[in-house]
Amino acid sequence: MIRFVGFVIFLIPTLVLGNLAEELEKKYANLLDPLVEEGMLPSYFLSVSDRNGLIFDRGLGTSGAIIEKDPTSQTPFALLSLSKPIVALAVLKLLERENVSLDTSVSKYLPEFEDARVCGESASVTDIKIVDLFRHTSGLGNNLEFSGARSNQMRSAGCTRELAQLYQDQALMTFSTVLGPNTKNTSLEDQVEKLSSLPLLFKAGHDFQYSLSTDVLGRIAEVLSKESLDVFLKDLLFEPLGMKNTGFYVDEEDRYRRATLMKPLIRTFPVPGTYQRFEKYPFRQFEVAGIGDKVNVVSAGMGLVSTGEDMTKFANFILRELSLHDGSVFLPASMSDLIFENQLPSILGENPLKGKLPRASGDGMSLVFNIRAKDRRYREVFERKDVDFFYWSGFSSSVFWVDTVTGVSGVFLSQIRPTQNYLIGDLDRIADSLIMAK
């Protein structure tokens, strides 16, 4: 009898978790599967975890979007913009290890930025701080391929689309530069040096612009660590977290399993019925089949490739407040505010990200990712009780989110750019509704 009672007590948590996993997966399938079946989304992988680990994962793919029937936790996905928070967190660790202040001038480690000038203000020299690179207030811009806002929303003191076009013309972190056959002057050092010779959009610290700032952070990491960016990330972050399948290069034997990056299919005439509303991104023009085949430049801002398993480990690591599995803490508690609290300066106004990042109006930003309040209203200080979730959304439709109130993290990986479906609110809401009900 005693053995029987003990057996029942042991089973109850397992049964509860099992029921929750089934309910969650069903809710998410009802949201996501029709997007694939109706030709809106090429493929996806989704995982949801709590602080104890994985609750469930699932994947669904369509013909031409992936070789295997459905993505699994081992399917490689190009992270594109999801590379940024990974690199930012690793660089924070490096700065802490080397005792480097965030207020240090970028020019201390990259002297080429010493004479950084704002566009249209030839006599004005601006001092870019390392912190400006984390929060995209450096004054740097982006090329046309990866601009975070439409060209008519890009603000500056006199040059808007022109500078984005100049970045494109100079091949600064474009697909062609990172992946193409031309390998001349395409090291990260070369790219950053070329970037430093161009004017800034605005005085550092005075505005926000989604930019190549993370790539400059990557170059600072190389200078400080005396390692190439790929080696630095592996040593400082990927190995401690067990992210064995994350990096800039995909082994040849694994490429057949890689999810294919797509772009929206443009038609000039209506087509009745259900059809795939996307087509393969034209990587063949760069003499590769996809991101990870060849790496001319290790781009900190868009170059990483990972799997659902590895990204689940990363999101769950954030959920555990940066606690490693052996119980050690990745960063001291004194740095927690840099990761979980808003770091945008008050000079940016009452709604700094409005019109600057898609669907981010009202959100705040730490040095690693965005912060969303439950009421979608911006405040200079986001109390934990007011936070709905922390997240970062990439321009390949991928996203990860961390909800420290419900104790859930999630990873959604897909491969279509520009993003057609902004799902982050729905993804978090499903977990909230079921977990809070339990």
Q: In terms of C-beta distances under 8 Å and separation of at least 24 residues, what long-range contacts does 316-320 make, across chains too? A: 316/49, 316/51, 316/53, 316/409, 317/241, 318/390, 318/402, 318/409, 319/49, 319/50, 319/51, 319/402, 319/403, 319/404, 319/407, 319/408, 319/409, 320/51
Residues 399, 427: contact at Cβ < 8 Å? yes
Token readout for 313 is 């480990």
Q: How many beta carbons lie within 10 A of that of residue 166, not counting itself?
A: 17
Closest CA to 135 of 192, 209, 219, 218: 209
Q: Write down the pLDDT at residue 131.
A: 98
Taking the C-alpha atoms of residue 82 and residue 179, their distance in angstroms, rounded to an integer, is 18
Q: How many beta carbons lie within 10 A of that of residue 413, not counting itself?
A: 29
In the chain the first and final C-alpha atoms are separated, in Å, by 30
**Residue linked to tokens 């934990």:** 384
DSSP 8-state secondary structure symbol assigned to residue 409: E
Q: Write down the pLDDT at residue 265.
A: 82
Q: Write down the pLDDT at residue 121.
A: 78
Q: Strands of 387-393's sheet, edge to edge?
A: 53-61, 43-50, 408-413, 399-403, 387-393, 370-373, 364-365
Please give the distance of CA 253 from its chain centroid, rounded to a whole number: 26
Taking the C-alpha atoms of residue 180 and residue 299, their distance in angstroms, rounded to an integer, is 13
| Structure-derived torsion over alpha carbons of residues 202, 208, 209, 214, reported in degrees to the nearest 10 | 100
Residues 161, 190: contact at Cβ < 8 Å? no
Count of alpha carbons within 13 Å of 365, Cβ hemisphere only? Answer: 29
Count of alpha carbons within 13 Å of 325, Cβ hemisphere only? Answer: 10
Q: Write down the pLDDT at residue 149.
A: 44
pTM over 0.85: yes
Taking the C-alpha atoms of residue 305 and residue 318, their distance in angstroms, rounded to an integer, is 19
Taking the C-alpha atoms of residue 83 and residue 338, their distance in angstroms, rounded to an integer, is 18
Taking the C-alpha atoms of residue 312 and residue 23, their distance in angstroms, rounded to an integer, is 20
Q: Write down the pLDDT at residue 162.
A: 84
Residues 363, 372: contact at Cβ < 8 Å? yes
Mark the ranges of the chain whose per-residue pLDDT is less than 70.
1-18, 63-68, 123-124, 148-158, 160, 267-274, 438
